[in-house]
Structure 1
Amino acid sequence: MVVIRVRTPFGMFRSSFDSTVKLVEVIRKVQEDLLKKNQEVDGPALFVVPKKSDSSPLPANKTVGELNFTDGQMLEMVGGYQSTIVEIPDSEKSIFDLPAIPYEIPRCALHGPDQSCVRCMTAKYIRVDRKEKADCVGVEADKKSVAVFKYNMEKNLGYSVQRLGILYGKKTEEGWLQVDFIYEPPQENSATDILLLRNETEQINADTIANSFGLTKIGCIIGQTAEDCEDEEFILTAQQILMSAEIKGEAEDFIILFSGIRDGTPFVEGFELTDQFYDLYKRRYFLPPKDDFFLQVKEPLWIEAKEEMEAEVEFFIAPVPLKEYRNDFRCEFPVENRQVKQSPEFLRTLIAQQPGARLVDLINDFHLLIFLGSFLGETDLAALCSEIQHGELAEGHELIIRNIAEA
């Protein structure tokens, strides 16, 4: 099976195909997917390989194998849809396409409505200052989970691309954020960017598992390239902090772990984005970034005693203390959405290698539960997590899991 990705004007299509399948069948499946999204199909489509000097359409009568497509092959759709202009409601528009929401300035009592003073001239700007100390007391990250993420960055990816994981955990009574799980969503990785791919079912399963154990989304971890880490002052790019704000959503507490390598030594550091950054983000002040180190804005900011239409990324980042701890969850099953795919064979091997262990103890693994979630409904998955906490599996769930292992 080969995973084929198709870039269309309406989003990314991604599916697996046998090498004997003809390209025309791939085209048909993409068009069926567009119809499900209420996009109108208009005649036959043509596929090309993006960024290739020879951009002539690929022959639709040839098979995936004959076209020598590799796993993860990227194609671009040309034609085969109706290019209609649809009025998009504000609720569905990107924050970059909407006007900023400026702060309301109280009327100055010193002058009339058609005059101005120094107070009013400076009050209309948002003042941006560096923040030296984070609000978060600190982060305690599970050693196993972080080690598995770092291992993939070092041994499999060679710190050659960026990669992202979503952190799940809780806030302790002392105010520390405790990281227990790292979920790695579907994504495309390059040396300069991370493109998150939507898988709503898997994301719901990740949230269900976390919530069942009393955990919630508390941050993200970003693996950086070795080249970026050569600069000792480098932390995060403008695009990465905007992506982090989108991932945060309505989460109350949110931190960012930076995973990199410098002078041959892997490391992880903790940071948080300032409240002022999140406020500006909600007010839609930011424009799509033009470079890695500056955020362009729609309305002027007051930075270091002058008006600016861009701000350095470092103005919105504060370091957070980080230390290790160990939780009781296992972290042995292959991680979701990596090059090595999760499969029943890994579950079968896990059970066979520890014949004396109870099944309820073996499946106390976030990544294994993500895999089992693809066979179970949301309700059954939550029930399974509850059984793990109580240390006893229902007979039906144990039978299902053993059947999955033997598939």
Structure 2
Amino acid sequence: MLIRLRSRDGLERIQLEDGASVTAFMLAIQQQLGVPLEQQRISRDPALLTAKDGAGISLLNDYREAPLQSLGVTHGDLLFLLYDMERQVAPAYKPGPLDSNRPFGSKVTMADIIAKQRRVERQDKATVEGVSFDRAAANAFQQYCNSALAFSIKRGGICYGTVGEDNIVRVEFVFEPPQQGSQDELLLERGTPQEAQADFLAGVLGLQKVGWVFCQANKERDWIVSSGELQAMAAMQDEMGPKSVTVLVTWDANDHGGNVHFEAFQCSEQAVQLYKDGWFVPESEPSGISKMRNPKEPNVEQAVIVASKDADSVDNDWFLCACAILDHTGPLLSSFPVENRLIPQSASSLRDHLRKHSSLPYSSRLADLHLLLWLAGQPNLDQADMLAIVEAVREKAELMEGYKVIIDSIAGV
């Protein structure tokens, strides 16, 4: 049973076995509160605490062998304890998360409670009408994920393209930065000089970052994206703007083997804001549920309201907005080997590419951003040279003879 014990220092509680005697009670006080037996004076009379020395007050100490229940003491009763030593007693009441910075005596209103929670709403539709992926670029990405990696690990890339007046995102080029992938994790090395060079070259061609693409490893799951993937999507959307998208590539197994499947999504605008504000709890294991925590009120257990119910987590699907997925034939080639893959790019790659497209005008043969990005890393060409080459590609103009000689020399033709 539990006995409440009031002393001059505060209110405390003692846990006892049912049927405990006064002696057992006193020993428990000594063990749990640190008050020696010889200092304890215990009574049911509150006058004990105001008397000078407890004289004239009926004490339970006089009935040490008697069970507490025989003296009328039952579970939850309040007794009084007097002693001479100095002690510090922890407050019996501990402020809850809703009491922080609240003046004494003020009331907790429903508005106070709601202010510490975030109502999570579904977004009706994406901010773009759809995503159209250049066929050659899409094929180059999925073929590597399928043939080289067998969808055994995750792989990702940054999408460059345009957003048209029809509000459709058109992906023309995928830059694959250095990265580390596993079945559950994907770490892209961002902000590298190579990525800055890709930004420059794509910009000359009138392209900008419009999102990213990644493939999931071929493992059983019962969700579309994990919490970690959702947070990565929100980070990309925060970086690249509200019109940026995520393209998800998966392996769809069937009786005939399987097919590669492309899907396009955006995060809801609220998901992006929740990510920026630090509401997502990092996941320990991949899951289709995101744990949520109010970063300003971390002790609030159910920090969100979902479908009019208090909750501590949100189904990731709640944050997703599906986009129509289309394809098109863009203005660029995608036959040059892609950067940062297992097989490196080389001068022989350039030679094979130029021969393969020998029927095209020279500037059109160079209309492959993977090739241009590799050329930009060659010591024979500086930024000004690359600007002139890419402008000729953009305008489909005749390339200066000097640049042809340099490029042919690099290729060994």
TM-score band, normalised by shorter chain: 0.5 to 0.7
Matched pairs, number: 294
Q: Give the structure 1 partner of residue 389 of structure 2.
A: 384
Q: Give the structure 2 partner of residue 243 of structure 1.
A: 232
Range with greater deviation from structure 2 (205-214 or 117-126): 117-126
TM-score after normalising by structure 1: 0.67
Q: Which amino acid aligns with 2:400?
A: A
Match of residue 145, structure 1, among 131, 137, 148: 137
Deviation string, structure 1 residues 280-330 (Cα, Å, up to 9, x no partner): 122122232223223233312222333333322222111111111111211
Q: Which runs of structure 2 are paired with 1:185-264 in the superposition (5 Å)?
A: 185-198=177-190, 200-228=192-220, 231=221, 234-252=223-241, 253-262=243-252, 263=254, 264=258
Q: Which amino acid aligns with 1:116?
A: V
Q: Distance in 2 between matches of 1:129 and 1:352?
A: 55
Matched-pair contact (CA < 8 Å) for 1:238–1:294 = yes
TM-score after normalising by structure 2: 0.66
Q: Distance in 2 between matches of 1:280 and 1:354?
A: 49
Please state how far the C-alpha of 1:236 moved relative to its aligned partner: 1.5
Q: Give the structure 2 partner of residue 160 of structure 1.
A: 152
Please state how far the C-alpha of 1:356 moved relative to its aligned partner: 4.3
Inter-CA distance 355–171: structure 2 relative to 1 (3 Å threshold): closer
Q: Which amino acid aligns with 2:362?
A: L
Q: Distance in 1 between matches of 2:208 and 2:307?
A: 38
Inter-CA distance 234–378: structure 2 relative to 1 (3 Å threshold): farther
Q: Give the structure 1 partner of residue 293 of structure 2.
A: 298
Q: Which amino acid aligns with 1:241?
A: L
Inter-CA distance 128–379: structure 2 relative to 1 (3 Å threshold): farther
CA RMSD of aligned residues (A): 2.3
Deviation string, structure 1 residues 19-41 (Cα, Å, up to 9, x no partner): xxxxxxxxxxxxxxxxxxxxxxx
Matched-pair contact (CA < 8 Å) for 1:208–1:378 = no
Matched-pair contact (CA < 8 Å) for 1:332–1:365 = yes
Q: Which runs of structure 2 are paired with 1:71-90 in the superposition (5 Å)?
A: none
Q: Distance in 2 between matches of 1:173 and 1:245?
A: 24
Range with greater deviation from structure 2 (354-363 or 313-322): 354-363
Q: Aligned to 1:178, what secondary structure does the other structure show?
A: strand
Inter-CA distance 363–271: structure 2 relative to 1 (3 Å threshold): same
Q: Specify the structure having the higher radius of gyration (Cα).
A: 2
Q: Aligned to 1:298, what secondary structure does the other structure show?
A: coil
Q: Distance in 1 between matches of 2:263 and 2:361?
A: 37
Inter-CA distance 294–118: structure 2 relative to 1 (3 Å threshold): same
Q: Aligned to 1:321, what secondary structure does the other structure show?
A: strand
Q: Distance in 2 between matches of 1:395 and 1:114?
A: 83
- Asked if 1:342 is matched to 2:345, the reply is yes
Please state how far the C-alpha of 1:200 moved relative to its aligned partner: 1.1
Question: How much identity, in percent, do the aligned residues show?
Answer: 26
Q: Give the structure 2 partner of residue 277 of structure 1.
A: 271
Please state how far the C-alpha of 1:117 moved relative to its aligned partner: 2.2
Q: Aligned to 2:152, what secondary structure does the other structure show?
A: coil
Inter-CA distance 167–353: structure 2 relative to 1 (3 Å threshold): closer
- Asked if 1:395 is matched to 2:387, the reply is no
Inter-CA distance 380–285: structure 2 relative to 1 (3 Å threshold): farther
Q: Distance in 1 between matches of 2:106 and 2:186?
A: 49
Please state how far the C-alpha of 1:352 moved relative to its aligned partner: 3.1
Q: Give the structure 2 partner of residue 404 of structure 1.
A: 410
Deviation string, structure 1 residues 353-393 (Cα, Å, up to 9, x no partner): 44443321111001111111212444433332112112222
Inter-CA distance 249–405: structure 2 relative to 1 (3 Å threshold): farther
Q: Which amino acid aligns with 1:359?
A: Y
Q: Give the structure 2 partner of residue 129 of structure 1.
A: 121
Q: Which runs of structure 2 are paired with 1:347-386 in the superposition (5 Å)?
A: 347-375=350-378, 376-386=381-391
Q: Which amino acid aligns with 1:388?
A: V
Inter-CA distance 316–347: structure 2 relative to 1 (3 Å threshold): same
Q: Distance in 2 between matches of 1:158 and 1:278?
A: 32
Inter-CA distance 305–362: structure 2 relative to 1 (3 Å threshold): same
